[in-house]
Amino acid sequence: MPMRKRRRMDSSVKLRWSGIISDQNNVTAPIDERRAEDQNCLKSSACAAEDHGLQEALSGGLEDQQVQTPPAPVHHSPVSPAPGHNNRVDETTEDNILSRYEMGRMLGKGSFGSVYEGKRLEDGLEVAVKIARKPQNMKYIYIPGHPGQLPLEVGLLILANRGPKVSEIIELLDWQDQPDQYIMVLERPSPCEDLRHFWKRHKGILDEDTARFIMAQATMAAHMSCRRGVFHRDVKLENLLINTETLEVKLIDFGCGDLLQEAGYERFCGTRLYCPPEYYAEDKYHGKPATVWSLGVLLFLLVCGRFPEPRDRQMIDEDTWSDPGLSNECCLLIRSLLKISPRQRIYLRKILEHEWFKVMSLRSATNDFEDYIHFSFERF
């Protein structure tokens, strides 16, 4: 990937990972729920009560995968071990993964776990350590290349990172499954904060150049996750980390995710304000169109400073919506992303080909975005 010029924003910003716990209690506006039982699912970080028929054939060439709910083993599998690390685990000895890291302050906390600063003792690498409490009906999956079952969130992140590195997806470095919890060691970019804090520091609205750069990366992360058989299901401000100097973005927290499947999903796990309308209209939704909808909500929020309201959605569906402060290309993209009917929405794989991403503003002080888009098309 081409090098990007470092953009100084605010060197005093501290690292914040408030979104990585999948805590849905911070939703700022209610949306009427079709089923009261789904309210519990919306607040669950692991979405453990769900059963989406994951044994069916999956898109993305992941037919070998199966979902199980076995007794929880103690299992450790370094994904990116430190130099000289021994992969073998002796379950009879003190092999707690945390003994290999120096733990620091808490970065974020939610209903089902916490994230801490950490430093790998062997080489001093700065990391983030997520400790997630297991829900009652913890899901496990089998994926090719791993002989045993994996906690669902761990398995999804392994799949999303499989193959050439996708810099827009947070990297899983190490993990351990314990009887009552699982621990994930993740890369820790610095300096960074979640996109919600970044957005609020900029008075709740971003200029199109900044929004375009962020949206290109969020779209790439969502698209590559789906290509690798992973449905994140909770793309939102809080689940995107942004480097405050370079504006590099990483998708985090796969705790509400699932394996991508051709069949629709009948229950929703995620954040209500990003939930696709077909879930309420048809009691069913599909992974890719739902991801497109959430990206549309994200773009609307970044450039308009608020969530789309019923009147906005009606005008968008009628192709009459516009905003005098936005370019015509931006308004067109919003209308393409937020169509009520999932069949009328732009395809996920086509988003980065939209005219809005081809527009270079004269206000841009760097060719970073142009280079990024060119590189992104090469990966599509």
Residues annotated catalytic, as ranges: 234
Rounded-to-integer distance, Cα 336 and Cα 311, Å? 16
At 128 the three-state DSSP class reads strand
Rounded-to-integer distance, Cα 204 and Cα 195, Å? 11
Rounded-to-integer distance, Cα 10 and Cα 91, Å? 46
Instruction: Give the residue from 224, 97, 105 showing the smallest Cα distance to 160.
Output: 224
Are 67 and 55 in contact by the 8 Å Cβ rule? The answer is yes
Half-sphere exposure of 239 (CA within 13 A, CB side): 29
E strand or H helix that includes residue 259:
strand 258-259
Given the structure tokens 């959430």, which residue do they identify?
Answer: 294
Sheet bearing 140-142, strands edge to edge: 66-68, 140-142, 150-151
Cα 167 to its chain centre, rounded Å, is 13
Largest CA-CA distance found in the chain, in angstroms, rounded = 66
Q: Tokens at residue 169, please? A: 């997806």
* DSSP, res 203: T
